[in-house]
Structure 1
Amino acid sequence: MSTDRRLDVLRAIVSDYVATREPVGSRSLVERHNLGVSPATIRNDMAALEDAGYIAQPHTSAGRIPTDTGYRLFVDHLASIKPLTAPERRAIESFLEQSVDLDDAVNRTVRLLAQLTHQVAVVQYPSLRRSALRHVELVPLGGERLLVVMITDSGRVEQRMVAAPATPGPSPVLDEVTVADLRARLNVAAAGLRMPTLRAALTRVAHQVEPSLVPVVDAVADVISETLMEEVEDRIVMAGTANLARSGVDFAQTISPVLEAIEEQVVIMRLLAEMAADGSDDDLQVAVRIGAETKHEGLAETSVVASPYGGETSSDALAFLGVLGPTRMDYPGAMAAVRAVARYLSHVVNS
């Protein structure tokens, strides 16, 4: 049996099973696909695929279904990820570009992914520790106190209050003119930088101001650095759980273990991070985990398609997004949707 023909038969079985949810027999393959060989040859090919563990016979009928190994072979031999149609791309771009802030962009993205793929969609918020400082705003609160507002390149906004530490010398005068000058110096020095270069740039500003303001600059530098370095709890947003419920027939027993697993957000976040590490640093690639590859018992009958977003490569991405569903999934469609949405969300976040 030729390898090319075996792959063609496997592709046909995956395609039919995803579309019909019914085990696929040799007769239906002959009727639906132009494989160019006799039914007897297809039966022999199916027997060889079964012996190799790529398909299995769930019942005593003649039909076969793909195994996790078969789905993996199918995904690994996709010639390319089919592009979305022009109307689909325009709809994604228009919908996401209407976002008013980061929260809105994330919520729009997760709803859009669930609608496009009919699976459970997951979007991780950008990590503060991976963000660069876009702008810092200083607001005088009276006396020697300042409100420090930090805006990152991922759209996150953090606020902290600082007070100038007591010193033996004269107290700093934090009037509007002085604060405006500090604000300008800090933004010129640090805007667009990530840790650790950010901290060094902020420290240099202390050498540019009069001595009474040095403690203020040091306090502001400390709070900015600590905020961008702190272990902020990662957050994910999910949508489309009802899609999973409608796919209940795809699970051997019950979807309860799946629902319990996705409720444990740390499980999903760990899985997304592992999948990001699977990809190449050359570009933002789509990664796929199938069945037992998820390494979580509750997700043993599911597949996850994920991609990083917000950077040029996987290593500098801000966060990850993806979809989760039964292993009987439209992999080419899910991979195309995840890739396209990740690219558009990257554009929205970075702009």
Structure 2
Amino acid sequence: MASSTDRRRQEVLRAIVADYIASQEPVGSKSLLERHQLQVSSATIRNDMAVLESEGYIVQQHASSGRIPTEKGYRQFVDHIHDLKPLSAAERRAILSFLEDGVDLEDVLRRSVTLLAQLTRQAAVIQLPNLKVARVKHIEVVALGPTRLLLVLITDTGRVDQRNVELDELLDAEGVLLLRDLLNGALVDKTLAEGSTTLAQLVQNPPPQIRHALTRAATRLVETLVDQPTDRLILAGTSNLTRAAGLPGVIEALEEQVTVLKLLANVPDLGNVSVLIGEENEDEDLRDASVVATAYGSDGHALGGLGVVGPTFMDYPGTIQKVSAVARYVSRVLAGE
């Protein structure tokens, strides 16, 4: 159990980090006493600051200046964030109504990343859904003519694919309905990889009256399921980083999609937020920055990652809370709530 001295030093560190985030100016013992009710003497504060400095949590850049937090100090601060101030009812309504106006999945994600950049005044990034976890929601079969079909495949990530199928034999209305029922039976709630397997099994023993149509439709659908586009990112707010000192390589790193995809591939489960500070980032160009990231999804499945990249002196409590809130609302919109 921490001693009262340890707890007080934790309070002093928290106050230094909070003041430095707010001002980006070195923090002295006098200003700490003026701004925070620490209930101790200035000599005690100075002693606490000397101990925190010797332990590597803060550093004095110049002999006459106050202290600034180190990456170790930020990590200690982040690890001891217990209470996040909730968004106001007005903020929650604004986020939800803005996202609900999206016309399709990509529009919702574009809106969410724009919103996150505005809310945090950092660079924000979101990954389009990982199609490996996408599941088929419905297949619609539409007769465009006696020997021509339109297949519409809809996934739970909002992806919609349309494919035309040309037949060498006539297919009546009853055959179209039977084909639709068989395809839905084989594909609904399956991942795209599972769907390819069940379609292959389906064509091995088809009803004679629709054998030709089923074989053609299944072949076309397998091409669609296997033809998965590569992961893509949507980026917003990179101009926010140009105002932050010491981040020359970060914008270039963000524009290198591979770097960020690698970063978002390791986001935590739904509902959890990860914070990487400075040197904790694997990519060299992100080692002057901090990254706050989480996952969004539906039905308990993570579909992709979203996050914020900014300077190490970012407002961690506010950023964690906003990243978490936007991910939660994106998930709600995707789930149709």
Q: Same fold (TM over 0.5)?
A: yes
Q: Secondary structure at the match of 2:275?
A: strand
Which of 190, 193, 200 in structure 1 is aligned with 2:190?
A: 193
Instruction: Trace 1:118-197 onto structure 2 (pairs within 5 A).
Output: 118-140=121-143, 146-162=149-165, 172-195=169-192, 197=194
Distance in 1 between residues matched to 2:68 and 2:103, nearest whole Å: 45
Aligned partners of 2:192, 2:252: CA distance in 1, in Å?
A: 37
Q: 2:296 aligns with which of 303, 309, 312?
A: 309
TM-score by length of 2: 0.90
CA shift, 1:201, in A, is 4.5
CA distance in 2, matches of 1:233, 1:93: 29
**Distance (whole Å) between structure 2 residues aligned to residue 121 and residue 72 of structure 1:** 21
1:36, CA displacement in angstroms? 1.5
Q: CA deviation at 1:312?
A: 5.3
Which amino acid is 1:318 matched to?
Answer: L
Give 5+ residue unaligned stretches, structure 1.
165-170
Output the aligned Cα RMSD: 2.3
Q: Which of 13, 20, 23 is the aligned partner of 1:20?
A: 23
Output one character per residue of 1:190-218: Cα deviation in whole Å (capped at 9) or x when no partner.
Answer: 32322554345545654785225335424
Q: Please list the CA deviations of residues 58-79 of structure 1 after superposition, one character each: whole Å capped at 9, or x if unmatched.
A: 2333311111111111111111
- Given the alignment of the two structures, is residue 323 of structure 1 paired with residue 321 of structure 2, yes or no? no
* Matched-pair contact (CA < 8 Å) for 2:298–2:334: no
Deviations 1:140-199 (A, max 9, x none): 4657554432111111122344456xxxxxx54234442233123322443232255434
Tell me which residue corresponds to 1:263. 255
Q: Secondary structure at the match of 2:318?
A: helix
- Pick aligned residue for 1:243 from 211, 232, 240: 240
Secondary structure of the corresponding residue to residue 39 of structure 2: coil
Change (3 A) 1:228 1:286: farther
Deviations 1:236-270 (A, max 9, x none): 101111111122x3x1xxx3311111110110110
Amino acid at match of 2:47: N
The code of the aligned residue for 2:225 comes to L
Q: Which runs of 5+ in 2 are unaligned?
A: none
Alpha-carbon separation, structure 1, partners of 2:221 and 2:80: 47
Equivalent pairs counted in the alignment come to 333
Same amino acid, percent of matched pairs: 50
Distance 1:68 1:227 in 2: 47
Judge which range, 127-136 or 7-16, deviates more.
127-136
Question: What corresponds to 1:333 in structure 2?
Answer: 318
Q: Give a deviation string over 1:286-340, Cα, whole Å, max 9, x none.
A: 1111111111111111011111001455xx3000111111111001101101111
2:57, 2:298 → 1: CA distance? 36
Would the aligned equivalents of 1:138 and 1:183 in 2 still touch at CA under 8 Å?
yes
**Counterpart secondary structure, 2:224:** helix
1:66 equivalent among 66, 69, 87? 69
> Measured at CA, do residues 286 and 225 of structure 1 come closer, stay the same or move farther in structure 2, by a change above 3 Å?
farther
CA distance in 2, matches of 1:220, 1:70: 60
The AA in structure 2 aligned to 1:336 is: Q
Query: Which residue matches 2:278?
Result: 291
1:51 matched to which residue of 2? 54
CA contact (8 A) 2:116 2:124 kept: yes
What letter is aligned with 1:38? Answer: S
CA distance, structure 1, for counterparts of residue 219 and residue 72 of structure 2: 52
Residue matched to 2:332: 347
SS of the residue aligned with 2:249?
helix
3-state SS in 2 of match to 1:150: strand
What SS is found at the alignment partner of 1:15? helix
SS of alignment partner, residue 132 of structure 2: helix
Amino acid at match of 2:38: L
Under a length normalisation based on structure 1, what TM-score does the superposition of the two structures give? 0.87
Would the alpha carbon gap of residues 208 and 183 (structure 1) be closer, same or farther in structure 2, given more than 3 Å must change?
A: farther
> Contact 1:129 / 1:230 at 8 angstroms: preserved in 2?
no
Moved more, 182-191 or 83-92: 182-191
Cα pair 1:321 1:342 within 8 Å, conserved? yes
Which residue of the partner structure matches residue 167 of structure 1?
none
